[in-house]
Amino acid sequence: MYDPTVARLTYRGLLGRRRAVILGALPVLLIVISLAVRGFSGADDQVAADVLGGFALATMVPVIGVIAGTGAIGPEIDDGSVVYLLSKPVKRPAIIFTKLIVAIAVTMVFSAVPTLVAGLILNGNGQQVAVAYTVAALVASIAYAAVFLFLGTVTRHAVVFGLVYALVWEALFGSLVEGARTLSVQQWALAVAQKVAGGDLVTSDVGLPTAVILLAAVTAGATWYAGQKLRRLTLAGEE
């Protein structure tokens, strides 16, 4: 299923100069914030959890997911260069699967790794906060990459929709509307993190079984549908 050539093209496209700068900016910001917080208020488990939950998991991970997920396929469909992948004896679900792996890997590297580093800076992994949020970031990376990769196959405006989902739905509605929280990748990831941390610093509105089922379902569904979408992708049109 995994095609190394598709992966190489996707990596090089994703980590091109401009996108790499955007991907790198948020993690750098997180580290800077963590250093500042630690410097001003010292090691504090609650503050660490607030920074990692409020900025790393709520903002950074979904935004990185949007950039990596949509960027893994959207630009190629947009400019038509995907034709060079599609006009090959390579199964289209394999193309999607490979791009998903790449998007997940990039999202993890640019979100989970800085989350761990920030956590260690903030309170040296006291009460397992750093590890718990890193696990949450890893789990969320998978679901975000899949969802935003799928978005990249259905709309030219995947980045906009992705950011709206990540920032408006997850951040805003999630805090206002009860039901929205159940349908939030962030909350599902937190459910897993809660299990890891054990204490009451990390909490989720969703139970662990529900979270795991929804995570798996969304990831699998988005990937399957993206594969179908690519099989039916038409590059036509009188321009």
Partner 1 sequence: MSTLSIDHVSRWFGNVVAVNDITMTIGPGVTGLLGPNGAGKSTLINMMGGFLAPSTGTVTLDGQPVWGNEQIYRHIGIVPEREAMYDFLTGREFVLANAELHGLGEKEAQRALATVEMEYAQDRKVATYSKGMRQRVKMASALVHEPSLLLLDEPFNGMDPRQRMQLMDLLRRMGDEGRTVLFSSHILEEVEQLASHIEVIVAGRHAASGDFRRIRRLMTDRPHRYLVRSSDDRALAAALIADPSTAGIEVDVTEGALHIQAVDFGRFTALLPRVARDHGIRLLTVSPSDESLESVFSYLVAA
Residues that bind partner 1 (CB under 8 A): 3-6, 8-9, 12-13, 16, 79-81, 83-92, 231-239
Q: Which is nearer to partner 1, 86 or 180 (CB)?
A: 86
Q: Which is nearer to partner 1, 89 or 209 (CB)?
A: 89
Q: How far is the CB of 85 from partner 1 (least distance, A)?
A: 7
Other residues' Cβ atoms within 10 Å of the Cβ of residue 86: 15
Q: Which is nearer to partner 1, 178 or 238 (CB)?
A: 238
Q: How far is the CB of 71 from partner 1 (least distance, A)?
A: 13
H or E segment to which residue 19 belongs: helix 17-41
How many angstroms from the chain centroid is the CA of residue 146?
8
Q: How far is the CB of 89 from partner 1 (least distance, A)?
A: 5
Q: Which is nearer to partner 1, 160 or 235 (CB)?
A: 235
Angle formed by the axes of helices 92-107 and 4-14, nearest 10°: 40
**Residues ≥6 apart with Cβ < 8 Å to 73:** 10, 82, 96, 99, 149, 152, 153, 226
Q: How far is the CB of 4 from partner 1 (least distance, A)?
A: 8
Q: How far is the CB of 69 from partner 1 (least distance, A)?
A: 19
d(CA 108, CA 86): 27
Q: Which is nearer to partner 1, 3 or 205 (CB)?
A: 3
The conformation of residue 168, written as its DSSP 8-state character, comes to: I
The conformation of residue 55, written as its DSSP 8-state character, comes to: I
